[in-house]
Amino acid sequence: MAFALSSMQVTSPAFANHEAIPSQHTGEGDDVSPALAWQEAPEGTKGFALICHDPDAPLVKGGSYGFVHWVLYNLPGDIQELTEKTALGAAGMNDSGNIGYAGPMPPEGHGKHLYYFWVLALDHQTSLPEGLTLTELLQEVEPNLLGMNRLVGTYQRG
Protein backbone atom coordinates (compact mmCIF):
# COMPACT_ATOMS: atom_id res chain seq x y z
CA MET A 1 0.00 0.00 0.00
CA ALA A 2 1.47 3.33 -1.06
CA PHE A 3 0.32 5.17 2.08
CA ALA A 4 2.70 3.00 4.11
CA LEU A 5 6.10 4.43 4.98
CA SER A 6 8.82 3.83 2.41
CA SER A 7 12.59 3.71 2.91
CA MET A 8 12.87 7.34 1.74
CA GLN A 9 14.65 9.50 4.31
CA VAL A 10 13.53 13.12 4.94
CA THR A 11 15.85 15.62 6.67
CA SER A 12 16.29 19.34 7.21
CA PRO A 13 19.38 21.44 7.94
CA ALA A 14 17.10 23.57 10.16
CA PHE A 15 16.07 20.88 12.68
CA ALA A 16 16.57 17.19 13.45
CA ASN A 17 13.80 14.62 13.67
CA HIS A 18 11.62 15.23 16.76
CA GLU A 19 13.57 18.40 17.58
CA ALA A 20 12.42 22.02 17.83
CA ILE A 21 11.64 23.95 14.66
CA PRO A 22 13.57 27.27 14.72
CA SER A 23 11.38 30.33 15.28
CA GLN A 24 12.16 31.77 11.80
CA HIS A 25 10.00 28.95 10.37
CA THR A 26 7.05 29.69 12.68
CA GLY A 27 4.16 32.12 12.80
CA GLU A 28 5.97 33.90 15.63
CA GLY A 29 9.06 34.42 13.46
CA ASP A 30 9.66 35.10 9.75
CA ASP A 31 7.12 32.41 8.79
CA VAL A 32 9.31 30.98 6.00
CA SER A 33 9.30 27.33 5.00
CA PRO A 34 12.34 25.33 6.11
CA ALA A 35 14.81 23.73 3.75
CA LEU A 36 14.11 20.01 3.32
CA ALA A 37 15.97 17.15 1.67
CA TRP A 38 15.17 13.52 0.90
CA GLN A 39 17.09 10.47 -0.23
CA GLU A 40 16.23 6.96 -1.41
CA ALA A 41 13.04 7.84 -3.28
CA PRO A 42 11.26 4.72 -4.55
CA GLU A 43 12.24 3.36 -7.96
CA GLY A 44 10.22 5.00 -10.74
CA THR A 45 9.66 8.31 -8.93
CA LYS A 46 8.87 11.07 -11.44
CA GLY A 47 7.36 13.71 -9.14
CA PHE A 48 6.93 14.76 -5.52
CA ALA A 49 4.38 16.46 -3.31
CA LEU A 50 4.82 17.77 0.22
CA ILE A 51 2.48 18.28 3.16
CA CYS A 52 3.02 19.79 6.60
CA HIS A 53 0.35 18.81 9.12
CA ASP A 54 -0.08 19.39 12.87
CA PRO A 55 -2.21 16.53 14.25
CA ASP A 56 -2.10 18.09 17.73
CA ALA A 57 -4.09 21.17 16.75
CA PRO A 58 -7.44 21.11 18.57
CA LEU A 59 -9.48 21.43 15.38
CA VAL A 60 -11.91 19.12 13.65
CA LYS A 61 -13.56 20.22 10.43
CA GLY A 62 -15.00 18.39 7.48
CA GLY A 63 -14.20 15.06 9.11
CA SER A 64 -10.45 15.74 9.36
CA TYR A 65 -8.44 16.75 12.39
CA GLY A 66 -5.47 18.95 13.12
CA PHE A 67 -4.15 21.82 11.04
CA VAL A 68 -2.64 21.76 7.54
CA HIS A 69 0.29 24.19 7.38
CA TRP A 70 1.59 23.51 3.88
CA VAL A 71 0.52 21.75 0.70
CA LEU A 72 3.08 21.81 -2.14
CA TYR A 73 3.01 19.77 -5.35
CA ASN A 74 4.07 19.66 -9.02
CA LEU A 75 7.63 19.10 -7.79
CA PRO A 76 9.87 17.40 -10.37
CA GLY A 77 11.14 13.89 -9.73
CA ASP A 78 14.79 14.80 -10.28
CA ILE A 79 15.11 17.02 -7.20
CA GLN A 80 16.11 15.86 -3.74
CA GLU A 81 15.79 19.08 -1.79
CA LEU A 82 13.92 22.32 -1.32
CA THR A 83 15.62 25.50 -0.20
CA GLU A 84 14.31 27.65 2.61
CA LYS A 85 11.32 29.70 1.38
CA THR A 86 11.24 27.63 -1.80
CA ALA A 87 9.59 28.95 -4.93
CA LEU A 88 9.40 25.50 -6.57
CA GLY A 89 6.15 23.72 -7.31
CA ALA A 90 2.54 24.80 -6.96
CA ALA A 91 1.29 25.83 -3.53
CA GLY A 92 -1.97 24.59 -2.13
CA MET A 93 -4.38 25.97 0.44
CA ASN A 94 -3.40 25.81 4.11
CA ASP A 95 -5.93 25.76 6.93
CA SER A 96 -5.44 29.49 7.50
CA GLY A 97 -7.27 29.89 4.20
CA ASN A 98 -4.17 31.12 2.38
CA ILE A 99 -2.03 29.71 -0.41
CA GLY A 100 1.45 28.58 0.64
CA TYR A 101 3.29 27.94 3.89
CA ALA A 102 1.86 28.90 7.28
CA GLY A 103 4.39 28.24 10.04
CA PRO A 104 3.66 26.57 13.37
CA MET A 105 1.83 28.67 15.96
CA PRO A 106 -0.09 26.47 18.38
CA PRO A 107 -2.50 28.08 20.83
CA GLU A 108 -0.82 29.67 23.83
CA GLY A 109 -0.60 27.30 26.76
CA HIS A 110 -1.35 24.30 24.54
CA GLY A 111 2.06 22.70 25.00
CA LYS A 112 4.37 21.18 22.43
CA HIS A 113 2.90 20.23 19.05
CA LEU A 114 4.30 17.83 16.47
CA TYR A 115 4.62 18.97 12.84
CA TYR A 116 4.82 16.25 10.21
CA PHE A 117 6.61 17.25 7.00
CA TRP A 118 5.52 14.49 4.61
CA VAL A 119 7.24 13.93 1.25
CA LEU A 120 5.18 11.88 -1.22
CA ALA A 121 6.90 10.15 -4.15
CA LEU A 122 4.73 9.88 -7.26
CA ASP A 123 4.97 7.76 -10.41
CA HIS A 124 4.40 10.78 -12.67
CA GLN A 125 5.02 14.52 -12.77
CA THR A 126 1.85 16.35 -11.81
CA SER A 127 0.62 19.62 -13.33
CA LEU A 128 -2.21 20.36 -10.94
CA PRO A 129 -3.63 23.88 -10.50
CA GLU A 130 -2.48 26.03 -7.59
CA GLY A 131 -4.70 26.24 -4.51
CA LEU A 132 -5.70 22.61 -3.91
CA THR A 133 -6.62 21.61 -0.36
CA LEU A 134 -4.96 18.62 1.28
CA THR A 135 -8.05 16.49 0.59
CA GLU A 136 -8.12 17.52 -3.09
CA LEU A 137 -4.39 16.81 -3.47
CA LEU A 138 -4.66 13.37 -1.90
CA GLN A 139 -7.60 12.48 -4.16
CA GLU A 140 -5.47 13.40 -7.18
CA VAL A 141 -2.21 11.69 -6.20
CA GLU A 142 -3.32 8.59 -4.27
CA PRO A 143 -3.47 6.33 -7.35
CA ASN A 144 0.07 7.44 -8.28
CA LEU A 145 1.74 7.27 -4.87
CA LEU A 146 4.85 5.09 -4.81
CA GLY A 147 5.86 5.80 -1.23
CA MET A 148 6.18 8.44 1.44
CA ASN A 149 8.03 9.37 4.58
CA ARG A 150 8.28 12.27 6.96
CA LEU A 151 10.38 14.46 9.19
CA VAL A 152 8.75 15.45 12.48
CA GLY A 153 9.54 18.81 14.08
CA THR A 154 8.22 20.23 17.34
CA TYR A 155 7.16 23.69 18.43
CA GLN A 156 5.75 25.23 21.56
CA ARG A 157 4.86 28.88 21.94
CA GLY A 158 6.95 30.75 24.46
pLDDT by 10-residue block (mean), the chain, 158 residues: 78 98 97 98 96 85 80 97 97 96 92 96 96 96 95 93
What is the side-by-side order of every strand in the sheet holding 145-155?
A: 19-20, 145-155, 113-122, 47-54, 67-76, 90-91
Q: Any idea where the domains of the chain sit in the sequence?
A: 21-48+74-85
Burial (Cβ within 10 Å: 0-12, 13-18, ≥19) of residue 23? middle
